[in-house]
Structure 1
Amino acid sequence: MRIAVVSDTHGLQREELLPALAGAEYILHAGDVGDNRILDALRKIAPVTAIRGNVDLYGDMALLPATEALELGGHFIYMLHSVHDLDLKPEAAGFSVVLSGHSHKPGVETRNGVMYLNPGSCGPRRFSLPVTFAWLVLEPGQSPHAEIVDLLK
């Protein structure tokens, strides 16, 4: 299963994003959505699960859950906006992937058999960080695979 992972759009829908997500079977948004129109546009590509971030305090965005747990491609995924708020042991809870955003800094790391994926930000550029999203590939019985994509290259 090919999943697009985005975060920290902050209400900015870059023109490069939607074409880059073509072929996604599912889209996960790790918070700081900023505007419901972002989710509406993503839903035209594939089903979407989104959580709220620290800027999603008002209107429809405030109704998004703070965390989400779901199963996709034979794997259990835990979503939260800031990995620093993680209050469980993902490996003990049976999660194979933890998704977060918040820092705008993309990264993929495996600890104790769990992939920690931050797709970075595909919204406003912060400092000199790249503008990114991630592809997450999940297959039953196989380790998760992720790739960070720089939208502006």
Structure 2
Amino acid sequence: MRIALIADTHGALDARIAEAVNGVDVLVHAGDVGDGVVAAMASLSERLVIVHGNNDPDGSGWPERETLDLPGGELVVVHGHQWPARTRHRKLREQFPQARAIVCGHSHRRVVDRETDPWVLNPGAAGRTRAYGGPGWIELTVGTRDWQVRASDLEPLKPKRR
């Protein structure tokens, strides 16, 4: 099963990421979606999982947390703004010890922390806003026994000429 993890689009999903994730089994967005992104994601996967970020409108209807029952374990999805950066990974692991992996956003910085279980995965920003070093995403390939993570970093887009 192929799962694409993205976050922090803030209204602009990078077209290269949209092309790369097209056809995944599940497309997960870890919050701070922004206007127009849900429509852009709708054709990319039959299953979209979106959680509410601190910059999403209160009426979005997206939950603060989602748990996906997957072969080989649970994937928990939260935005991450609920915990201070300094202790975020520890607090996430304490709150969701049953998970195989936890996906969060908020910092706009890519993290693949597999040092301790559960893993903490932050795909970084998949749009233009604070995409440190360029936009990116994480591909999670899930099997009953083996989960594999592949982070993809893209070159920053050059500013549009006016």
How far apart, CA to CA, are the structure 1 residues paired with 2:81 and 2:96?
A: 11
Maintained 8 Å contact 1:104/1:129: no
How far apart, CA to CA, are the structure 2 residues paired with 1:23 and 1:152?
A: 23
For residue 83 of structure 1, report the CA deviation from its aligned partner: 6.5
For residue 28 of structure 1, report the CA deviation from its aligned partner: 0.3
Structure 2, unaligned stretches of length 5 or more? 84-90, 157-162
How far apart, CA to CA, are the structure 2 residues paired with 1:89 and 1:111?
A: 17
For residue 146 of structure 1, report the CA deviation from its aligned partner: 1.2
- Residue in structure 1 matching 2:96, options 90, 96, 121: 90
For residue 70 of structure 1, report the CA deviation from its aligned partner: 1.5
Q: Which has the larger radius of gyration?
A: 2
Q: How does 1:47-126 map to 2 (within 5 A)?
A: 47-59=47-59, 61=60, 63-82=61-80, 85=83, 86=91, 88-91=94-97, 94-126=98-130
How far apart, CA to CA, are the structure 2 residues paired with 1:127 and 1:134?
A: 14
Q: What is the TM-score normalised by the length of structure 1?
A: 0.85
Partner of 1:149: 152
Establish whether residue 25 from structure 1 lines up as the match of residue 29 from structure 2.
no
Q: Percent identity?
A: 29
* Partner SS, residue 106 of structure 2: coil
Partner of 1:13: 13
How far apart, CA to CA, are the structure 2 residues paired with 1:39 and 1:127?
A: 19
The superposition leaves residues 127-152 of structure 1 with CA deviations (integer Å, 9 ceiling, x where unpaired) of 7433111101111122x221111133
- Does the C-alpha gap of structure 1 residues 128 and 118 become closer, same or farther in structure 2, counting only changes over 3 Å? closer
How far apart, CA to CA, are the structure 2 residues paired with 1:18 and 1:107?
A: 20
Maintained 8 Å contact 1:105/1:129: no
Q: What is the TM-score normalised by the length of structure 2?
A: 0.80
Establish whether residue 129 from structure 1 lines up as the match of residue 133 from structure 2.
yes
Coordinate RMSD, CA, aligned: 2.1
How far apart, CA to CA, are the structure 1 residues paired with 2:27 and 2:38?
A: 10
Structure 1, unaligned stretches of length 5 or more? none
Maintained 8 Å contact 1:4/1:24: yes
